[in-house]
Amino acid sequence: MIVRITGEVVEKSEAALVILAGGLGYEVLVNPSVIEVARVGESITLSTYFSIRESSQELFGFTSRDSLGLFKQLITISGVGPKTALHILSLGSVEELTGAISRGDLGYLTKVAGVGKKTAERIVVELKGKVAAVSATTAMAGGNTDGTADLVELLAQMGYSPEEARDAARHAMVLLPEASLEVRLRAALQSLARS
């Protein structure tokens, strides 16, 4: 089982990264926000889910354990495969998605191609209680569990626009998912200096 990968991004496509790790190149399917911030030639660390089916073997990558956890919950729903779950995760942050599921916001969930009203209803019915518990734990832990909001707030206080702050924070979170806020801030500032 492959649960985590750290390596150099050697290729990018619309839906995947090729990551060179230990002399092997791994194709890792990721959501568009990861594609946006990943840069060829830079190192990246992702939590992964290895999907094995009769006709395929695919590796899915996530910038946080929370994203991976929600992905695993989504694929337990009838009609939601790994690729559909990945597309659902591209709608927004884990906090936004769990909030939409908790509220029963079918319109938000049906924005994803392949997710109709019935599938969205199944997601809400089967996950509402589970994600509400996760959201409550997150709130008691002091808000966002991965520190993205804190990083965006710091960058905004330094005079960067909300969009610049979000993009730079996302880039830092992808590159350094387990690093301290200080290390992520330096990476975000370097990213802003290059753009």
How far, in Å, CA of 160 to CA of 189, rounded? 10
The residue with tokens 């939409």 is: 100
Q: Which CATH number fits domain 66-140: 1.10.150.20, 3.40.50.970, 1.10.10.10, 3.40.50.1220?
A: 1.10.150.20
Higher-confidence residue of 36 and 5: namely 5
Report, in this order, helix, strand and coil percent for the chain, each rounded to 5. 50, 20, 30
Span between the terminal Cα atoms of the chain, in Å: 37
Predicted pLDDT of residue 1: 74
pLDDT at 190 over 70: yes
**pTM score, two decimals?**
0.70
pLDDT at 15 over 50: yes
Task: Dump pLDDT digits (tens) for 45-80.
Answer: 999 999 998 888 999 999 888 889 999 999 999 989
Higher-confidence residue of 40 and 146: namely 40
**Span(s) in the chain for CATH 1.10.8:** 148-194
Task: Dump pLDDT digits (tens) for 170-179.
Answer: 888 777 777 7
| Closest to 71 in 3D by CA, of 96, 53, 97 | 97
Determine the residue type at 29: L
Task: Dump pLDDT digits (tens) for 71-80.
Answer: 999 999 998 9
Could you tell me if 12 and 40 are in contact, meaning their C-beta atoms sit under 8 angstroms apart?
Answer: yes
How far, in Å, CA of 94 to CA of 139, rounded? 13
148-194 CATH fold = Helicase, Ruva Protein; domain 3 (1.10.8)
- Angle of helix 162-175 versus helix 181-194 axis, rounded to 10: 120
Q: What is the mean pLDDT of residues 152-167?
A: 80
Predicted pLDDT of residue 141: 43
Predicted pLDDT of residue 130: 79
Predicted pLDDT of residue 154: 76
Task: Dump pLDDT digits (tens) for 77-114.
Answer: 998 999 999 999 988 888 889 889 989 999 999 998 88
| Closest to 48 in 3D by CA, of 12, 2, 16 | 2
Q: Which CATH number fits domain 4-62: 1.10.645.10, 2.40.50.140, 3.50.50.60, 2.20.25.190?
A: 2.40.50.140
* Mean residue pLDDT across the chain: 85
**Span(s) in the chain for CATH 2.40.50.140:** 4-62
pLDDT at 30 over 90: yes
**Span(s) in the chain for CATH 1.10.150.20:** 66-140
Helices (H) and strands (E) in the chain, counts: 9, 5
Who contacts 66 (Cβ-Cβ below 8 Å, separation ≥6)? 94, 134, 138, 145, 146
How far, in Å, CA of 185 to CA of 37, rounded? 15
Q: What is the mean pLDDT of residues 164-172?
A: 82
